[in-house]
Chain A
Amino acid sequence: MNHTAIWTILTKELGDVLSERVYWFAFTLELVIVLGVILLGIAFATMMNPIEMETAVPRLELNLGILSDGDGINGSHLVASLLEEDMRLSVVKSMDVLLNQIAGGDLMGGIELPKNYDECSEGRMMAELILDESKVYSSLVRSRVESAVDAANEDLSRGRLSGMGIEERGVLMLNTSSIGSSVLPISSPDFVEAMYLMVIPLVMIFPVLLSANMTSDSIVGEKENGTLGILIATPTSRLDVVLGKVIPVLALANLQFLAWIFLLENNILGSVRVFNKIPLLILLNLGAICFIGVSLLISVRARSTKESNLYLTLVIMVLVFPLFVGIPDIGLPSRILESVTLVKTIGYITASPRMPLDALLSPLIILGLVGAGVLTLCTRSVRNLEPPPSR
Chain B
Amino acid sequence: MEIAFDFGFLRVLRFEIASLVDDRRFLFGLVLQILIISLLVPFLVNYADKVGSGGNVLSTRAKGFVPVGFQGDGHRDILAVLGGFNRVKVIEVESWTEALEGLEIGKYCVVLGSIENDGELNVVYNEGDPRSLSAMKIIELISDSYMETHRRNLLEKKLTRRMENSDIAESEVVEEIEKMMETCLEPIVLSISTLAGGEDGKEEGLGEHVDPSPTGNSGDERIAKGNFLSLIFISLGLCFPLLSGSGIMIESITGEKERRILEGLIGSPVSGQSILLGKFTTAFVVSTIQGIALLIILGVVMRIQNVILISLFLMAVSLAVISATSLVAVISMGSKEANLTITVLYVMLFVILFGPLMLPGTVAWISPFTPMVRLAAGESLDTLSAMAPLLGCIIFTEISLIVCFRLFERDDYIFGPRPSFRELLVDFVSPRTHNLKNRATLVGICAGLATVPAIVFPSILLFPSVAIIGTLGIIPGLACAALVEEYFKPYGIYLLKPLPGRREIILLGALAGLVFSLIENLLFTVALLGMSTLGGSLVYIRYLLAPMLHVGLSVLVVEGFRRGGNFRATTLALATVLHALYNIVGILMVIK
Contacts and interface: CB of A to CB of B under 8 A. Distances in A.
Nearest to A125: B188
Nearest to A36: B463
A127 B43 contact: no
A232 interface: no
A150 B134 CA distance: 21
A173 B193 contact: no
A132 B344 contact: no
Contacts of A168: 150-151, 154
Contacts of A344: 61
A352 B195 contact: no
B255 A20 contact: no
Contacts of A26: 340, 343-344
Which of A166, A305, A317 has the most chain B CB atoms closer than 10 A to its own CB?
Answer: A305
Contact of B188 (A20, A127, A188): A127
Contacts, number: 327
Contact of B61 (A126, A145, A343): A343
A129 interface: yes
Contacts of B570: none
B532 interface: no
Contact of B131 (A119, A124, A160, A352): A352
A310 B29 contact: yes
Interface residues of A, number: 120
Contact of B197 (A133, A193, A197): A133
Contact of A172 (B56, B78, B125, B244): B78
A321 B40 contact: yes
Interface in A372-389: none
Contacts of A325: 43-44, 47, 57, 60
B217 interface: no
Interface string A172-208: 1111111111111001110111111110000000000
B155 interface: yes
A173 B203 CA distance: 36
A125 B191 CA distance: 11
A126 B130 contact: no
Given A130-B195, A326-B60, A313 B130 contact: no
B188 A313 contact: no
Contacts of A328: 43
B522 interface: no
Contacts of B341: 22
Contacts of B134: 189, 192-193
A197 B65 contact: yes
B194 A131 contact: yes
A181 B240 CA distance: 46
A91 interface: no
Contacts of A228: none
A178 B130 contact: no
Given A130-B206, A146-B190, A180-B126, A309 B57 contact: no
8 contacts: A26-B343, A132-B196, A192-B133, A307-B29, A310-B29, A317-B40, A328-B43, A353-B129
Interface of B: 23, 25-26, 29-30, 32-33, 36-37, 40, 43-44, 47, 56-65, 75, 78, 103-107, 119-134, 136-137, 139-140, 143, 146-147, 150-151, 154-155, 158, 182-197, 201-203, 206-207, 210, 212, 218-219, 240, 243-244, 247-248, 250-252, 255, 258-259, 335-337, 339-341, 343-344, 347, 460, 463-464, 466-470
